[in-house]
Amino acid sequence: MLDRAAVTEGLEQVSSLIEIAGVAIIVIGGLIATVRMVRDGFGERRWATALQRYRANLGMAILLGLELLIAADIIDTIALPLTFESVSLLAGVVLIRTFLSWTLEVEIEGRWPWQGEGRGAQGDKAAQTG
């Protein structure tokens, strides 16, 4: 039979590893996006395009990192004794991080999630130039 304390300790360690991975993805993704922006800006001499790509690349790194941080929070909540306070705290954290993810997705895609492909800011620009 499994010892509850050992399972809880294992879940806490898994959660910590996922949190570290989430933060690492945000930091490394930010560094890679920054290097690419500087390289593209100097190489192509198109800073506006480089900045637009930078925002999209940085947003994708943050989105992926946030997804892992949400997963770690869920695992933490499972490991802890369930109380109204712990579940409420998880709900608040997930709500805030989901809102951040959603707004970043809108920023990256240039359209609302319920709009079809090719709609929104980037799709409208493509339609005007194409």
What is d(CA 113, CA 130) in angstroms, rounded to the nearest whole number?
A: 23
pLDDT tens per residue, range 26-83: 999 999 999 999 998 888 778 888 888 898 899 889 989 988 998 898 888 777 777 7
Q: Bigger pLDDT: 4 or 19? A: 19
Amino acid 77 reads: T
pLDDT at 126: 44
How far, in Å, CA of 75 to CA of 81, rounded?
Answer: 12
Residue 44 tokens, joined: 């192509």
Instruction: Give the model's pLDDT for residue 65.
Output: 93
Please state the domain extents for the chain. Answer: 4-129
Which pLDDT score, from 0 to 100, does residue 121 have?
47
Sort 59 into a burial class: Cβ within 10 Å, 0-12 / 13-18 / 19+.
buried
Report d(CA 115, CA 130) in Å as an integer.
Answer: 20
